[in-house]
Structure 1
């Protein structure tokens, strides 16, 4: 017998502005018992990953991306679930409408240069797997990880 958890796919979005800053969100995670800093994202809820990424970005940050490029996919817990996390790079940002649900009421937003966000992941300040992978891939893709 092989136990597993059935969970839907997820998305994580590295949103970069023209100054090379990325938007991060911080929220409380019940199972970890602490607030965690991460890139915007969430479940696909059965949507196409690109559509879900655009939805999550706007819901959590109030930003709309004019361009969305895939960074890759990860299997965060392959021994536990089939769930995949789709990683995206959002650019050409403009204001939209924030629409957080009740579970995101305490979420905060902060902007950091991409290289600072990568440094936060290396220092263990950002530990959510999809966020770490997305930030590293975005840094490699954009070559903006150098101060």
Structure 2
């Protein structure tokens, strides 16, 4: 791989993140220090209702100091990504996924964390129960046409990395599905 970890120490451990400082040998052989964040993987869910509307949420984000429009999702908390996606979708929107499938996986900040973002498509939505945590009390739910959500990615209204990638993948996948003859499943 080119990188070698010599030692590793915890600089900070909090309830949600751990900051580590590693002594490393870099690919060129030079000794160095690499600081990185250890967090659980995350999920983002493209939930499409029976009318082809995508479910978006909008919430206040502390670091951005603004409301951010994004897909439902959050930390896996160590769960399998599908379990976490089902949990996060219901907690944030009050909807349960009848069907769930993987769209892809991205590394949103590969120089800062090994955590990955799992992108999923949820369909056959059923009513469930909203159960937001204290940080999500001001969250609102929106239903947009998928094409409008993709337009929001393109014009900078949706900027969260997982939402950005998942919406583009879902749009490409649904375009492929509608172009195929009936009964042909692109997953096979």
- For the criterion TM > 0.5, the same-fold answer is yes
- Pick the TM interval, shorter chain: over 0.9
In structure 1, what is the Cα distance between the partners aligned to 2:123 and 2:134?
A: 27
Q: Secondary structure at the match of 1:5?
A: strand
Deviations 1:102-139 (A, max 9, x none): 11000000000000000001010000000000000000
In structure 2, what is the Cα distance between the partners aligned to 1:123 and 1:135?
A: 13
The answer as to 2:124 corresponding to 1:79 is no
Point out where structure 1 has 5 or more consecutive residues left out of the alignment. Answer: none
Moved over 3 A (4+): none
Point out where structure 2 has 5 or more consecutive residues left out of the alignment. Answer: 1-32, 177-188
| TM-score, normalised via structure 1 length | 0.96
Q: Secondary structure at the match of 1:8?
A: coil
In structure 2, what is the Cα distance between the partners aligned to 1:98 and 1:141?
A: 28
The answer as to 2:130 corresponding to 1:98 is yes
**C-alpha deviation, 1:19, in angstroms:** 1.1
The answer as to 2:162 corresponding to 1:130 is yes
| 2:172 aligned partner | 140
1:62 alignment partner, one of 87, 94, 119:
94
What is the aligned length? 144
**C-alpha deviation, 1:143, in angstroms:** 1.2
The answer as to 2:41 corresponding to 1:34 is no
Paired residues for 1:16-55 under 5 Å: 16-55=48-87
| Larger RCO (CA within 8 A; separation ≥ 6) | 1
**C-alpha deviation, 1:36, in angstroms:** 0.2
Compute the RMSD of aligned alpha carbons.
0.8
2:152 alignment partner, one of 113, 116, 120:
120
In structure 1, what is the Cα distance between the partners aligned to 2:86 and 2:174?
A: 20
**C-alpha deviation, 1:18, in angstroms:** 1.6
| TM-score, normalised via structure 2 length | 0.76
In structure 1, what is the Cα distance between the partners aligned to 2:175 and 2:144?
A: 16
